[in-house]
Chains A and B, each alone.
Chain A
Amino acid sequence: MIRDSRQLAPFIHTEKSAPYIYLTFLAALVPCVVYGIFYYGIRAAILILFCMASFVLIDNLCVRVTGRRSGGDYFDLSSLVEGLLIALMLPPDTTLVIALTAVLFASIVTKQIFGGAGSNIINPACAGRLFIELVWPSGLQGFSYGETNSKFSLISLVVQQQPEVSPSYEHLSIAELLSGNYPGLIGTTCFICILVGAIFLTLKGTIRLYSPISYLVTISVLYPVTMLIETRSFSFDGSLIYLLSSGAFFVAVFIMGDLTTMPSRFASGVFAGVVCGILTLVTKPFVSPMVSLLAPVLAVNFLSFVLDFFSKTLSRRKIRSREVDVS
């Protein structure tokens, strides 16, 4: 492999190149794409392709307009990954206009303004999805499923459909929760597919597991406490259901595992994961599920550089930073 350190964010100390990392992410997301298209049909496929294509197009336009193109020594695959992540976090009955809004915000505001691929402070896909959740909440309620779900219907891509009432996840069986056979976002509900992607990324060494693991552990442990406060009943039953049905597992693997925007050191990564988990549980009763999942991640994105700095300078022992890939 030819090393090209110019293609990596300055604080990523890994031998993997940017295309390698992004291709790995794309491959890891393939099972989630299969899930989305299998359950939601053509409209899911179109949403995925539309988000990826529009993200690439907008990124390239911005690069050309700003004259920042570096000679085209490699194709920027980050646009494809971010477009795909946005699409997978959309409800199946989302209009193309809303999807485009998310892509525009993610590409221009959170990525290109900060210098393009590898220079962004926050996760563009996460920010784009959160943006439309805040400005267009009614447009993100299209969870048609089962008998109301037509795999060949395209009308929801153009016309906003009537909001569907989400079912109570408490009645879902474990088989449904694991396979994602219930109404949800295009790519975040199938636990098995996300797990396969997570294993693939780990094997490839393109994910830092500090934050995702600490995040999931924090939620698992503290969820019963929040339930005790809310419902006066202490039980771990809800933790598993929440982790599997809320999209937290998807966020943990594909958003918090991001090498660019999450802290790179062990201590700061764990700290970020714990903070994220706590913020998610604290905000969960007050805001929509996606906001409670994504807003804490963005908050930690902003702090990741500072966390890394403190982690490095305040420690007397010289902790060797744990990189994902130690080869």
Chain B
Amino acid sequence: MMTHAQLKQFIAEAVILLILGAVLVIGGYFISQDNANKRVQNEYHARFDIVLDSYSYEKVKSKALSNFPEIKGVYIGYNASGSPEGYVVDLSVKSPDNRDLSMLVALDYESTRIVGLSLNPVTGDNAYTISEDEMNQIKDRLIGRQIPMAFITDKNPDEDENAEKITVGGLKDGVYYAQRLFDDRNKYIDYVEMEVENGVIIKVKWDAFCTDTTNQDRSEASLRGAYEISGLDWATQSYNLCHALLECQDPDRLAMKSDGTTDIVAGVTCDIRPFIELSKECISNSRAGYSKTDYMRGLNMMLFHLYQDNAEGLEYLNKDGHIVFSFEETPELYTIYDDNEAVIGYMGVRQIESIITGKPYTESEYDNRQNDKNGDVQIANTGDYDAGEDGLITSGNSDDQILTDSIDDLPMSEIASLVEPAPNAYDQTRTVIKACNICYKFLKEYLKWKVT
């Protein structure tokens, strides 16, 4: 047994050892910490200088990382003054043939553009290898581009005969416009404005103005909460849809269902029928060279035909130059009936103008092809009469109907850069793009980006 004196002595000795231990540990820590930091930084420099030459690096600690098992580590590079320069993401992704590609992706801190790509040393039997030449070609295509990325056509170039396949064809450059001739139950008149350059649709805007001119446009009203629909706000849905059209270039490829909705554009739950109809009318107008100015002239002509005055005189022009008038009381002007007096479609302004002026209405070569396909020569601007299966893309060879509504689980509307695959290295480029898109998804979650 021990005496109390011995016990006290032991306690005193233990306390002394505790203090001594604390002094040694803390002192040792501060003495060695500089060396430890230098060693860690040297390791980082050895690994990361090739993609992002920063003064120092710091590893990111984030719960978001747990959702991305592909990412082994994320680091922020700082310059000499301590300002962040960029991110370095160390990750491993699966190639199309299910092998592992381990690489570093460096991104600019502000713009999240790719500033460096590097392959990690190959380890293991299941490693995916990319040759130096292929990697250099991929770097040429990707560095400087903003993430997320997708191929211009997300198909194998071997199967892609030419890039024109993704355009509707026959478009003439200019700004084209179409608006509905009647308002909806909220007194809004939808319109689509489309800009074409080099035969490609480069800009699309879908919005609606109110016949009650004291109200805001629909997009503005939705952002302010005055116009509410289920799902995302209408302005965001409109934006996503316009983006999707820019991507696919053909309203038919948006696969509108019979109820006017689509399943293939992420975040869009609203009725897209007005958009499809007006986009088609814009495309038809573009093929006919019927510009926005011509369209406004046609509308004015319709007003003059009915009221012997133009929009300005009738005070139907709003501050944005739109003709705010609903022709709902004169449906015979624009409605097409069948033999049984049933409504089968609506005419566009160009067609109505030709009727009013008595000039022959001529379809473009492309419109004729489309109408032949639809079996309906008269109606060029309605999406209601596609003979295809509900919600599926109808026209053309089924092999060409691949519309990727998402890539790497990212909606196409979020894609910031479209790139071409490196020659003879499609899978390699695709795998690297996949890695870049994983970086985007992580940063989106880590930085809590709100994508609209």
Contacts and interface: CB of A to CB of B under 8 A. Distances in A.
B203 interface: no
B369 interface: no
A181 B28 CA distance: 8
Contact of B28 (A24, A146, A179, A197): A179
A90 to B, nearest CB: 18
B19 to A, nearest CB: 9
B36 A181 contact: yes
Nearest to B75: A147
B13 to A, nearest CB: 6
Contacts of B26: 38
Interface core residue of A24, A31, A38 (most chain B CB under 10 Å): A31
Across the A-B interface, give the 3 residue pairs with the lowest CB-CB distance, nearest first.
Answer: A179-B28, A31-B21, A34-B21
Contacts of B58: 147
Given A147-B58, A147-B61, A150-B61, A173 B24 contact: no
Interface residues of B, number: 30
A150 B65 CA distance: 15
Interface residues of A, number: 42
B21 A30 contact: yes
B92 to A, nearest CB: 13
A230 interface: no
Interface string B11-37: 001100110111011111101110110
B355 interface: no
A2 interface: yes
A192 interface: yes
Interface in A193-229: 193, 196-197, 200
A178 B28 contact: yes
Nearest to A150: B61
Interface of A: 1-2, 4, 17, 19-20, 23-24, 26-28, 30-35, 38-39, 73-74, 146-148, 150, 167, 171-173, 175-176, 178-182, 190, 192-193, 196-197, 200
Interface stretch (B1-9, B110-118, B278-286): B1-9
8 contacts: A27-B10, A27-B13, A34-B22, A38-B25, A167-B43, A171-B39, A175-B32, A196-B21
Given A20-B6, A146-B40, A176-B35, A196 B20 contact: yes
B24 A20 contact: no
Given A38-B26, A178-B28, A31 B39 contact: no
B59 interface: yes
A32 B26 CA distance: 12
A12 to B, nearest CB: 17
A193 B25 contact: yes
Nearest to B26: A38
A16 to B, nearest CB: 10
A187 to B, nearest CB: 11
A144 to B, nearest CB: 10
Given A171-B39, A173-B39, A27 B17 contact: yes
A180 B28 contact: yes
A73 B26 CA distance: 40
Contacts of A147: 40, 58-59, 61
Nearest to B34: A175
B61 A173 contact: no
B164 to A, nearest CB: 48
B10 A38 contact: no
Given A38-B26, A147-B59, A179-B32, 7 more contacts: A1-B3, A35-B21, A39-B25, A148-B59, A173-B32, A175-B31, A181-B33
Given A28-B17, A148-B61, A173 B10 contact: no
A20 B20 CA distance: 21
B169 to A, nearest CB: 52
Contacts of B61: 147-148, 150
Nearest to B40: A146
Contacts of A192: 24-25, 28
Nearest to A177: B32
Interface in B22-74: 22, 24-29, 31-33, 35-36, 39-40, 42-43, 58-59, 61
Contact of A179 (B14, B17, B25, B40): B25
A176 B42 CA distance: 15
A106 B72 CA distance: 36
Nearest to A146: B40
A196 B24 contact: yes
